[in-house]
Structure 1
Amino acid sequence: MDRLIQILKDPLLIAALAILVLLGAGELLSPGFARGDQIVRLLTVAAILGIVAAGQNLVVLGGREGIDLSVGAVISLGAVIAGNVMSGNDAAILPAVAAAAGAGFLVGIVNGLGVTVVRIPPLVMTLGMMGVLQGALVVLSRGVPSGNAAPALMAFVNQPFVLGIPGILFVWAAIAVLMAFVLRRTAFGWSIYAIGSNERAAVLTGLAAGRIRTILYGLSGLFAGVTGVCVIGYTGNSFISVGDQYVLPSVIAVVIGGTSLAGGSGSYTGTILGAIALVLLQSVLTTLQMEFWSRQVIFGATLLVLMLLYGRQARLRV
């Protein structure tokens, strides 16, 4: 019985069961909800959330109550940069990706330096960065949509690429493999778990905790910048608040997947399941014709419940 209880407490199992339940509920509410092409469409939306959640996952794993609330603004920045670099030109897709990712990485590094060198709490640092970026975007774009996606990028994100599967899902799969390899098979990945589990002990073994944590924030910014490219590829154009809707879901997806907000415990596999479950939940709520504010209340309540269940440990690690 104890063994069964432990299995049922497994966040990965809970997330997988939630996905099945939500698919069943959606099918009952709207026949065809679980149809193959509909599932592919939902996975496309989940991929966009899953990419930004990869960076959030790394920051949370690094411990010290790590969180990146600036990801929404960085997504908007990446979308605006990518849209203006491309301006509808297929030949400019790669430079647009590089520019958006590079800008996101630089913003993340600034966040990391603020947290590790200046010792600003992550919540305050990333929230302040979010405000700075939002203000800068208003000034740069003058509050109007700016830039257009290249047709090839839109086709890659939205249309079948191979075997009826959009290209963005292959990108997400590649990121998943890369994340699993880095976290479980490299010294850098082991270092992330080490500083997240017990930073004091990790430092005594010679790990540069500050440098590692700064890199994690840089990677979070990089993933957010890439997500901005995916978003403009999905929508066709960008506006200054396009990334705001991903801030809370990126945190919830990480927590649903079982990553402890205390750091040092979790995996990107769980975050993938969390992203899929969250997109399914949003789709079911939309099927029920719930207002946006109602969905936000449910998302916030979901995060609080998950934190009570397994999102935090009895004592934060130092």
Structure 2
Amino acid sequence: MTSLATEQTMSQITGRSVKLQRSIVIGFGLLAALLVLGTILVPGFISPRNARSILLLAAFLGLASLGQTLCAMVGALDLSIPYVIGGANILFPSLLVTGMPAWLAVIVVVLLGAAIGLANGFLSFKLQGQALIMSLGVGFAFVGAVQLYTSIGSDYGGTVFAPVPDWLRNIAAFNGKTFGLPLPPVVLVWLLVALVTIWALYNTWFGRSIYAVGGSRTAAARLGISETKVWTSIHGISGAMSALTGVLLLGFSGGGFVGVGDPYLFTTVAAVVIGGTSLLGGAGGYGATVLGVLVLTILTSLLVGLGLSFAAQQAIVGLLIVPMVAVYARTPHIRNQI
């Protein structure tokens, strides 16, 4: 029995590794194809200016997609992400208006995002049959409460204007530089976050616990892994990263707007799927999502360069996701192999 169990475990690990490798190969193939098409069809597509723009937009999407990746790895989706982003984007400047120091306002907003995420994770875990609706409801409640707060003494609760700190503008500036390189500092922030996250997923108990819970809840429980803690923690991280993204987007735009997070409802899920992380859990990782973010951002840049409308862009990205899901879904999920 022990030998059979070992063989089954090795088979599951091998199957998951092959699936991840295949998704990475497909992702790099798409990336190369899009770069070639862009170079041929759009003048200046690979110019330094356009490359800087792509990396800047990819950094925001990449930071927002971190939490979505962790949630997908345990078989969940966090639909509150765009609403936490929008709420943070108008809450931060409103705190600045009250006289709160900018550094303290950042901490408050990020901690509040984490608290919302923890609540979202706990409630969605307890009601897993309605987890998607639960996360959506939590997002609605948060952004509505923030709009009520920011509208006190004002007729405009969805838009907030306040002097944005210079350091925040510099971090998210299009023409910013990092150590003399023509890269916005937020790109470096994303790179550091990506490296730490990828390392943690493969080299820490918490990271391995996420894979364990996503692969087999029964096996994870026998290893002494608390599914409740893992589920709640990753939603907390998702909330914190969403709030941080909302703050950074303020430095990019210069004014708070509650709808700034709306595009991230679709794009964070799309980046995870295109990267090859299984929405059923147990396979993938943030490295795959980084690849998916780059593919999605370059594709969007190509479509914009071709002069397509936003609706046409959505249609094409949607058509891309369908075959990607079909390809990745051909490998049976690890739970079905036990």
1:50 aligns with 2:62: yes
Which one of 146, 170, 187 corresponds to residue 160 of structure 2? Answer: 146
Once the two structures are overlaid, the 10-residue window that deviates more, 94-103 or 208-217, is 94-103
Do the aligned partners of 1:62 and 1:216 also contact (CA within 8 Å) in 2? Answer: no
CA distance in 1, matches of 2:280, 2:20: 22
Give the aligned partner of residue 86 of structure 2.
76
Give the aligned partner of residue 292 of structure 1.
310
CA distance in 2, matches of 1:92, 1:20: 45
Do the aligned partners of 1:261 and 1:312 also contact (CA within 8 Å) in 2? Answer: no
Which one of 237, 242, 253 corresponds to residue 255 of structure 2? Answer: 237
The total of aligned residue pairs comes to: 310
Which one of 210, 214, 219 corresponds to residue 201 of structure 1? Answer: 219
Give the aligned partner of residue 117 of structure 1.
126
Cα offset for 1:12? 1.4
CA distance in 2, matches of 1:311, 1:166: 37
Do the aligned partners of 1:257 and 1:274 also contact (CA within 8 Å) in 2? Answer: yes
CA distance in 1, matches of 2:307, 2:182: 29
- Aligned-residue CA RMSD in angstroms? 2.3
Deviation string 1:264-304 (CA, Å, 9 cap, x unpaired) is: 11121111111111011111111122121222222333333
Q: What runs of 5+ residues in structure 1 fail to find an aligned partner?
A: 1-5
Which one of 188, 198, 203 corresponds to residue 180 of structure 1? Answer: 198
Percent identity of the aligned residues? 32
Do the aligned partners of 1:75 and 1:228 also contact (CA within 8 Å) in 2? Answer: yes
Cα offset for 1:150? 1.7
Deviation string 1:55-112 (CA, Å, 9 cap, x unpaired) is: 111111123xx000110000011111222234599x9332232122111111111111
Query: Secondary structure of 2:296's partner?
Result: helix
CA distance in 1, matches of 2:307, 2:92: 33
Larger Rg, first or second structure (1 or 2): 2
Query: Secondary structure of 2:172's partner?
Result: helix
TM-score, scaled relative to structure 2: 0.85
Deviation string 1:186-236 (CA, Å, 9 cap, x unpaired) is: 011110000000001111221111111111111111110111011111111
Do the aligned partners of 1:191 and 1:207 also contact (CA within 8 Å) in 2? Answer: yes
Which one of 28, 50, 53 corresponds to residue 40 of structure 2? Answer: 28
**Residue identity opposite 1:25 in structure 2:** L
Give the aligned partner of residue 165 of structure 1.
183
Query: Secondary structure of 2:118's partner?
Result: helix
**Residue identity opposite 1:151 in structure 2:** D
**Residue identity opposite 1:92 in structure 2:** P
**Residue identity opposite 1:23 in structure 2:** L
CA distance in 2, matches of 1:9, 1:215: 27
Give the aligned partner of residue 290 of structure 2.
272
Give the aligned partner of residue 15 of structure 2.
none
Give the aligned partner of residue 136 of structure 1.
145
Change (3 A) 1:59 1:8: closer
Query: Secondary structure of 2:178's partner?
Result: strand
Do the aligned partners of 1:55 and 1:219 also contact (CA within 8 Å) in 2? Answer: yes
Change (3 A) 1:238 1:188: same
TM-score, scaled relative to structure 1: 0.90
Query: Secondary structure of 1:160's partner?
Result: coil
Query: Secondary structure of 1:161's partner?
Result: coil
**Residue identity opposite 2:71 in structure 1:** V
Structure 1 runs (4+) deviating above 6 angstroms are 6-9
Q: What runs of 5+ residues in structure 2 fail to find an aligned partner?
A: 1-17
CA distance in 2, matches of 1:276, 1:108: 26
Cα offset for 1:263? 0.5
Change (3 A) 1:119 1:33: closer
Deviation string 1:153-183 (CA, Å, 9 cap, x unpaired) is: 1122111132222110111111011101210
